């Protein structure tokens, strides 16, 4: 008996075959749970994350969106975004009887959110050109001055400073890009790959004009842009404590 490929099952789901999605679920559930355990720690949270992710992908497929191929990759990307946005949502609202840490002014850090942030930052760093990674490592991690780095890289101090600025902007754009969910429409994929650069004003004029035209009619990409705009704003604001129980930030 021949086992249907993921691609054939995805086609069947789009055509209204819910049983085909059940097959995809059984086929990829174990891998999804392994990834979920890497994102959250509580068993109940693992179950909730897996269930919400599969439900979100199913809804996308039934609406004519979602993947045509590479179901597992799409599923894993969706799970990371569900986890990230869920952690950010929970970070804004907390119910507790213990206000001690707020009274003492101790900032609260969500380990799951922080871990995911580090994952996004590391992925962005790996995508930078090697020379940009070098200059960022020496200036930002090791704390060397442009004059010190100039001797290491065979550049002038001014050239190091300029390159470091470009590298930081590139890293920032790529970091924001990690938060953009996978899109299916070709034009949305084009826009999604460049939303981080668009937000940071790094697109060439021709691409910037194409992006403006696309955002003019695509509500989904505008929503993606709104999400990373909020993230960019949060990352640039000074850290503030969360409010007391029952309030939102």
Q: Can you give the pLDDT at residue 62? A: 85
E strand or H helix that includes residue 247: none
198 found inside a domain:
yes
Retrieve residue 106's tokens. 């101790």
Indicate if the pLDDT at residue 236 is higher than 70. no
124 and 87 co-located in one domain: no
214 and 183 co-located in one domain: yes
121 and 227 co-located in one domain: yes
Q: Can you give the pLDDT at residue 27? A: 92
118 and 232 co-located in one domain: yes
Q: Closest Cα partner for 72 from 34, 123, 44, 43? A: 34
- Residue 206's domain spans which residues? 113-236
132 and 213 co-located in one domain: yes
Model pTM? Answer: 0.45
Domain of 123, CATH number, reads 1.10.10.10
User: For 53-110, what is each residue's pLDDT tens digit?
Assistant: 999 889 888 888 888 878 888 888 888 888 877 776 655 544 455 545 444 444 445 5
Retrieve residue 177's tokens. 């890009």
| Total domains present in the chain | 2
What whole-number distance in Å separates Cα of residue 82 and Cα of residue 74? 12
């Amino acid at each position: 008996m021949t086992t249907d490929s993921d691609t054939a099952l995805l086609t069947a789901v789009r055509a209204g075959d819910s049983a085909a999605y059940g097959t995809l679920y059984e086929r990829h559930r174990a891998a999804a749970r392994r990834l979920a355990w890497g994102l959250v720690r509580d068993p109940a949270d693992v179950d909730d994350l897996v269930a919400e992710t599969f439900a979100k992908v199913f809804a996308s497929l039934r609406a004519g969106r979602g993947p045509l191929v590479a179901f597992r990759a799409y599923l894993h990307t969706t799970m990371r975004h569900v986890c990230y946005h869920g952690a950010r949502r929970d970070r804004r609202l907390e119910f507790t009887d213990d206000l001690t840490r707020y009274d003492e002014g101790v900032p609260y850090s969500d380990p799951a959110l922080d871990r995911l942030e580090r994952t996004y930052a590391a992925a962005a760093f790996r995508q930078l050109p090697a020379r940009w990674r070098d200059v960022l490592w020496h200036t930002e991690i090791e704390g060397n001055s442009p004059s010190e780095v100039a001797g290491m890289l065979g550049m002038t101090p001014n050239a190091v400073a300029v390159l470091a600025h470009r590298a930081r902007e590139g890293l920032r754009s790529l970091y924001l890009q990690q938060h953009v969910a996978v899109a299916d429409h070709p034009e949305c994929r084009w826009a999604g790959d460049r939303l981080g650069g668009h937000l940071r004003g790094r697109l060439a004029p021709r691409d910037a004009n194409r992006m403006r035209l696309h955002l003019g009619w695509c509500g989904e990409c505008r929503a993606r842009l709104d999400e990373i705009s909020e993230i960019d704003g949060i990352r640039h604001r000074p850290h503030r404590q969360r409010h007391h129980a029952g309030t939102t930030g």
